[in-house]
């Protein structure tokens, strides 16, 4: 999907007349075309996609809504950009100050673009906070693939299987069901390792009476799913069941508070208060949720420090947890689309405690 008009509509707010887009995810957001290298240049009256030989044929066939031009040894990025800006009397060209390196900035500002350059990362970040129908469709498709993979994996979890084997099975199943790639390396931990929110899958084997925490996701057309389920094998102690119940109640409280017009920190607080009142506040050390889309972590976040007022159409995770070092941990994660009167939970997988 071409989002050039939407991007141009924000030029005045940032005091620019053109925008240089060099990062992969923002190039895709702008024109719908994915490549490991390339440059998008959007001016007040034209939009260009510059790519090299590896992508030129695909880019020309894609519905980018942009003028696609080849970059090679004769027609370098510098020449293409200079030609596009030639004769323009612009106040400034915006650039992605949050992503570009200092050396890249110096190259563009000193050697390529003669016009003033002005930071404009906020322009794209703010637009990307609100997901359009196409983005939501991709997010839901990725979520369904992840849920299908979870269903398959639950049938193979038993004493003796290792964390690494479960992670491999999740990866295989997501690819089998149509994922183009993983959102991130699956986090699979069991036993005492479940107290580590981002523990790495290893050769530890599942035992009866253990929790197994699986945090995983995949990509569809570049868009990420993200979900976490904690399941038990064989049996659970009273403490394990109690902690699981607290985390689930906290997640439901955060989901109930999640809607447009609310600050991220207030959504977090709704969940955090449940855990704190139960006496486990010190064991919940991360935020309630983060935005996701083309990046697995992007704006807006629902963290204790987030002053961002959630816009309608924002997509965030809902993932409170309790982590007891040396014992066990529990995390449950869904994905929410925020609206004016509440939120839509696009995660359909069961989250009541499963004992395999």
Which pLDDT value is given to residue 166?
98
Q: Which CATH number fits domain 133-345: 3.90.230.10, 2.120.10.30, 3.40.50.970, 2.40.128.20?
A: 3.90.230.10
Q: Give CA 330 to chain center in angstroms.
A: 21
The DSSP line for 279-290 is: T-GGG--S-SEE
Dist CA 41 CA 67 (whole Å): 10
Q: Which of 150, 156, 348 is nearest to 233 (CA)?
A: 156
The string of DSSP letters for 64-77 reads: -SSEEEE--SSS-H
Tell me, yes or no, if the two domains 4-128 and 133-345 fold the same way. Answer: no
Superfamily per CATH, domain 4-128: Creatinase/prolidase N-terminal domain (3.40.350.10)
Residues 316-329: b if buried by 16+ CB within 10 A, e if exposed: bbbbbbbbbeebbb
pLDDT at 106 over 90: no
User: What's the pTM value of the predicted model, to 2 decimals?
Assistant: 0.94
Euclidean distance between CA atoms 246 and 13, whole angstroms? 45
User: Where exactly are the structural domains of the chain?
Assistant: 4-128, 133-345
**In whole numbers, what is the pLDDT of the chain averaged over residues?**
96
CB 42 within 8 A of CB 130: no
355, exposed or middle or buried, with CB in 10 Å at 0-12, 13-18, 19+? exposed
The pLDDT confidence band at residue 1, using thresholds 50, 70 and 90, is low
Contact, 28 vs 48, CB < 8 A?
no
User: What angle separates helix 264-277 from helix 238-257, to the nearest 10 degrees?
Assistant: 150
pLDDT tens for each residue of 233-281: 999 999 999 999 999 999 999 999 999 999 999 999 999 999 999 999 9
pLDDT of 287 > 70? The answer is: yes
Each residue of 207-228: pLDDT tens digit? 999 999 999 999 999 999 999 9
* Alpha carbons 289 and 265: distance in angstroms, whole number: 10
């Amino acid at each position: 999907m071409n989002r050039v008009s939407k991007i141009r509509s924000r030029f005045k707010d940032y005091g620019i007349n053109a925008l240089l887009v060099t990062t992969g995810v923002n190039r895709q957001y702008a024109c719908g075309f994915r490549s490991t290298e390339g440059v998008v240049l959007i001016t007040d009256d034209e939009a260009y996609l510059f790519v090299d030989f590896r992508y030129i044929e695909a880019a020309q066939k894609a519905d980018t809504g942009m003028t696609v031009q080849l970059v090679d040894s004769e027609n370098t990025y510098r020449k293409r950009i200079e030609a596009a800006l030639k004769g323009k009397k612009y106040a400034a060209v915006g650039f992605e100050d949050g992503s570009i390196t200092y050396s890249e900035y110096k190259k563009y500002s000193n050697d390529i673009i003669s016009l003033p350059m002005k930071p404009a990362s906020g322009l794209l970040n703010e637009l990307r906070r609100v997901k359009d129908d196409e983005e939501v469709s991709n997010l839901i498709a990725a979520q369904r693939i992840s849920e299908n993979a979870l269903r398959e994996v639950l049938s193979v979890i038993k004493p003796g299987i290792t964390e690494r084997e479960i992670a491999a099975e999740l990866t295989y199943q997501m690819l089998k069901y149509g994922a183009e790639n993983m959102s991130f390396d699956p986090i699979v931990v069991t036993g005492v390792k479940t107290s580590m929110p981002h523990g790495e899958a290893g050769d530890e084997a599942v035992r009866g009476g253990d929790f197994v925490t699986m945090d995983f996701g995949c990509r569809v057309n570049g868009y990420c799913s993200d979900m976490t389920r904690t399941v038990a094998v064989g049996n659970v102690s009273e403490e394990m069941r109690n902690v699981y119940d607290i985390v689930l109640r906290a997640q439901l409280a955060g989901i109930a508070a999640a809607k447009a017009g609310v600050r991220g920190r207030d959504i977090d607080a709704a969940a955090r208060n449940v855990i704190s009142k139960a006496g486990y506040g010190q064991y919940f050390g991360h935020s309630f949720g983060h935005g996701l889309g083309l990046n697995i972590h992007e704006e807006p976040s629902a963290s204790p420090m987030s002053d961002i007022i959630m816009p309608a159409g924002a997509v965030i995770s809902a993932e409170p947890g309790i982590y007891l070092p040396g014992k066990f941990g529990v995390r449950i994660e869904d994905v929410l689309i925020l609206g004016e009167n509440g939120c839509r939970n696009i995660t359909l997988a069961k989250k009541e405690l499963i004992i395999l």
